[in-house]
Amino acid sequence: MTVEGYFHTRNLKRYALRLLLFALLSEVPFDLMYGGTWFYPVHQNVIWTLLLGLLGVHLMETVRKKQKLWVSLPVCAAVAAAGALLGTLGMVDYYGAGVLTVFAFYIFRGRKWWCLLGQVLTLY
């Protein structure tokens, strides 16, 4: 839904700020549940994963619109690698694989059968 939200929002900045706000607000309850303390830096909630995915999708879409295919493909690959790395280093929920899942939904968006096949394979 993060990818669909990206394409249907009127204001990306407000959408990203709402995700950031809810990531911050839900972090303490998540830490209490997951680590038993109000501050547990070893694992972050899933909204951080969605926020990283949203920012990566925005970068990929911006480059795709402005550049030729031979420029946008390596940039998108670099954004995907950076998103996976940030997700793993930031210890967000589902780590880098969660961020890559958001990117997979972006890549296969609008392609009916490829979408289903790509999403099933990615989730597997």
Q: pLDDT tens digit string along 72-115?
A: 999 999 999 999 999 999 999 999 999 999 998 898 888 777 77
Q: DSSP letter for 67, please.
A: S
- Rounded to an integer, the average pLDDT of 19-39 is 94
| pLDDT attached to residue 93 | 93
Q: Return the ∠ at Cα 115 (arms to 110 and 119), rounded to 5°.
A: 135
Res 37 pLDDT > 90: yes
**For helices 69-89 and 46-66, what crossing angle results, to 10°?**
170
| pLDDT attached to residue 56 | 98
Q: Which residue has the tokens 């694992």?
A: 43
**In terms of pLDDT, which residue wins out, 13 or 67?**
13
Mean pLDDT of the chain: 92
Torsion of CA 91, 116, 112, 107, to 10 degrees: 30
Q: Is the pTM of this model over 0.75?
A: yes
